[in-house]
Amino acid sequence: MKPLAFEYKRVEFTTQALEWLQEAGENARILAGGQSLVILLNMRLAQPTYLLDISHCQELNYIRQDKNMLCIGASTTQAQLQYWSDLSVVSPLLAEAIPFISHYQIRNRGTVVGSIAHADPSAELPLCLATLGGQVVLHSRKGSRELHAADFQQGMLTTAKKNNEMVTEVRFPVAKEGHGYAFDEFALRRGDFAIVACAVEAGPEYICLGVGGVADKPVVVQWPRSQQALFSQYLNDLAWALQAQDDQHASAAYRRHLVRVLGQKTIETAISRCSRKEG
Ligand SMILES: Cc1cc2nc3c(=O)[nH]c(=O)nc-3n(C[C@H](O)[C@H](O)[C@H](O)COP(=O)(O)OP(=O)(O)OC[C@H]3O[C@@H](n4cnc5c(N)ncnc54)[C@H](O)[C@@H]3O)c2cc1C
């Protein structure tokens, strides 16, 4: 199928994009890497009158560390982040997760922010953002606001973004000293969307586990390290609480099995990567 006709606008500055969004409202859609949106257009699941291409917006193309946050601008591609030389130190979780995103052709065009704005429940980047407790920065012509990841993604392909807003930046908390991080997923073929994905941050006092691919958005739980002996029971309870559904890729029972097995394995890996400061 081909998309319905639309008017294409390429913007070079954020202010231009915000002007357009204010005028066009619900008739406009932002085009970043196009790796999810173009499919929706071709299937006519999205039928915008205006497409606002921000991929050439240089002022939104950046990766920078600001104190304890890794800040990524809206036109930065997934490949740029993957090959950023400091990534494995600043965010070992992202360094491990990004290679799971499809194939390099997709990562060369797809943006970090586009993936988070698209809000697919199986996607790796929204899962990492939610697990680490990151933030999303939204701008409109009238002002800006910052939302926690948990408040931004509201369900499958649904976010708190308003029609006149664009996401200008996402912020991932940088790795904390002594904490261990791990990401793993199961997909039918390498590069496919995850059937179940797990992201873990293990600190000295607690572990944070994020699970993607089961509920309609990433689900994050925090458990005390002192209760490690009970984690397999907690994982079983979580597997049932996520209310997995059967679909063409996997049964609900298999998804529950993956939450238990992959969850346990990813937690153990993250804990094994925790380092203690020498006294
Ligand atoms: C074959 C294939 C396999 C894939 N496999 C995976 C996978 O395994 N894991 C995975 O996570 N993803 C996968 N993807 C999706 C890919 O990661 C996309 O790049 C990503 O989901 C969207 O990023 P984008 O920059 O391409 O956004 P676009 O497709 O341009 O936009 C996606 C949505 O986000 C909105 N949007 C984009 N930028 C902004 C912004 N700054 N502010 C507000 N709204 C915005 C758009 O309006 C649109 O609704 C796959 C894609 C393909 C084609």
pLDDT tens profile 183-221: 999 999 988 999 999 999 999 999 999 999 999 999 999
Whether 118 is in the pocket of ligand 1, judged by its Cβ within 6 Å, is yes
- pLDDT tens string 81-127: 999 999 999 999 999 999 999 999 999 999 999 999 999 999 999 99
Give the DSSP letter of residue 85: T
Residue 1 lies inside a defined structural domain of this protein: no
Q: For all residues of the chain together, what is the average pLDDT?
A: 95
Q: Does residue 203 lie within any of the structural domains?
A: yes
* Domain assignment of residue 64, yes or no: yes
> Treating both helix axes as pointing N-terminal to C-terminal, what angle do 231-241 and 252-272 enclose, rounded to 10 degrees?
140
Position 277 pLDDT exceeds 70: no
DSSP for 199-221 reads EEEE-SSEEEEEEESSSSS-EEE
Total of domains in the chain: 3
pLDDT of residue 279: 39
Q: Is residue 111 part of a domain?
A: yes
Dihedral of alpha carbons 12, 14, 19, 25, sign: positive
Helix (H, G, I), strand (E, B) or coil at 99: helix
Instruction: State yes or no: pLDDT of 55 exceeds 60.
Output: yes
Give me ligand 1 centre to Cα 248, in Å. Answer: 22
Answer yes or no: do 68 and 130 share one domain.
yes
Last residue of a domain, one of 173, 207, 240: 173
C-beta of 36 in contact with ligand 1 (< 6 A): yes
**Is residue 63 domain-shared with residue 163, that is, in the same domain?**
yes
Residue 38 lies in a domain: yes
Check residue 26 and give its pLDDT: 84
Decide: 124 in ligand 1 pocket, CB within 6 A. Answer: yes
> Which residue of 13, 35, 56, 166 sits with most ligand 1 atoms within 8 Å of its CB, as the best mutation to test the pocket?
35
Asked which of 33, 53, 73 is the last residue of a domain, the reply is: 53
Report residue 273's pLDDT band, with 50, 70 and 90 as the boundaries. Answer: very high
Residue 220: domain span? 180-272
Q: Is the CB of 185 under 6 A from ligand 1?
A: no
Beta strands in the chain, from DSSP E residues, in sequence order: 7-10, 28-31, 50-53, 63-66, 69-73, 135-140, 143-148, 153-155, 158-159, 166-173, 180-186, 196-202, 206-212, 219-224
Nearest-angstrom CA–CA distance, 146 and 166: 12
In a domain, 279, yes or no: no
Cα–Cα distance measured from residue 152 to residue 62, given in angstroms and rounded to the nearest whole number: 22
Residue 275 is predicted with a pLDDT of 83
